[in-house]
Amino acid sequence: MTIQNFPEEQSGLVYSSGDGSLASISYAQEKQASTVVSSGSIASSIFGSRNQAYFVAANQNSHAMMVFDVALGSPLLMNVP
């Protein structure tokens, strides 16, 4: 559903709306590097920071937003009007 391209780092992020996971893709090795977020919930939109330290996912229907800090390893859920 969503692809973020970071050509300078030879990587990208691919969001799967089927299982709600966000995978890191290595263009240099032409393979999936890792699954960076496996929330299990479906997002309307998702964004990862360039250094892949933070991820933000939003669900338009439920008016909710999740911020995931990789260093802490836990999501912060917020209701958005």
pLDDT digits (tens, 9 = 90+) for 3-60: 777 777 787 888 877 777 778 888 877 777 766 666 556 677 788 888 878 888 888 8
The token pair at 78 is 């917020």
DSSP 20-77: TEEEEEETTTTEEEEEEEE--S--SEEEE-TTSSEEEEEETTTTEEEEEETTTTEEEE
What's residue 38's pLDDT? Answer: 62
What's residue 4's pLDDT? Answer: 72
What's residue 72's pLDDT? Answer: 85
- 37: number of Cβ within 10 Å: 22
| Rg over CA atoms, the chain | 13
Residue 1 has pLDDT above 80, yes or no: no
What's residue 46's pLDDT? Answer: 81
